[in-house]
Amino acid sequence: MLTRRALVTRGTLTGAAIVFLWPSRADADTAPHRADADAESAKPVLALTKNIRVGGGRIIKNKYVITQPKKNVFRCFSAKCTHQGCTLASVSRGTINCPCHGSRFNISTGAVVQGPATRALPRKKIKVSGGKIRLA
Ligand code: FES
C-alpha cells in the first residue's frame, strides 16, 4: 500500500522528468537555425584567409580561384578560362593568368584584362567566417 508521502514523491519525480525531457517552445523555435548552421559549416573549406595574400590569390583544386583584391575582401571565380577552357595557373600582379594563350583576368572582378578571352570569369559566391572560406 502506498502512503500519501510516497504518492507525492512519485508524482513530483514524474513531473520533473517530463519537464526535463520535453523540449521547450524556445528550443523548438531555434532548432532549425542550429541545423542551418551545421549544414553551413559542413561545406568544405576551400582556403584559409591567412593563406590568401592581399593583392594576390590562389588556385584551389584546379577548380576555383580565390583572391583578396583588398584587405578582408575575398573573391572566388571559376578556374576555367573562358577562352578555351584551360585551367588557370597563377595569380600575379593583380591578374589571374591562363597558361594556354595568355589571357589575364582582373582579381577583383574577373573581367578580361588581356585576351584572347573575351568573357569574364564566372564568379562564385563564398562565405568567409572564422578565417575560413567556403562556398555559400
Ligand atoms: S584557354 Fe585560356 S587563353 Fe586560351
Q: Compute, in angstroms, the gap from residue 106 CA to the centroid of ligand 1.
A: 15
Q: Compute, in angstroms, the gap from residue 100 CA to the centroid of ligand 1.
A: 5
- CATH class, domain 46-135, is mainly beta
- Non-local (6+) Cβ contacts of 72 within 8 A are 49
Centre a 10 Å sphere on the Cβ of residue 97 and count the other Cβ atoms it contains.
19
Query: Tens of pLDDT along 30-68?
Result: 444 444 445 556 789 999 999 999 999 999 999 999 999
Give the residue extent of every domain in the chain. 4-42, 46-135
Q: Compute, in angstroms, the gap from residue 37 CA to the centroid of ligand 1.
A: 39
Query: Tens of pLDDT along 67-107?
Result: 999 999 999 999 999 999 999 999 999 999 999 999 999 99
- Non-local (6+) Cβ contacts of 81 within 8 A are 87, 88, 98, 100, 103, 117, 121
Residue owning the nearest CA to atom 1 of ligand 1: 84
Position in ligand 1 atom list of the atom nearest CA 81: 2
Q: Does 59 sit in the ligand 1 pocket, CB within 6 Å?
A: no
Model pTM greater than 0.75? no
In this predicted structure, the answer to whether residue 17 has a pLDDT above a threshold of 60 is no
The predicted structure's pLDDT at residue 43: 87
Rg (CA), the chain: 27
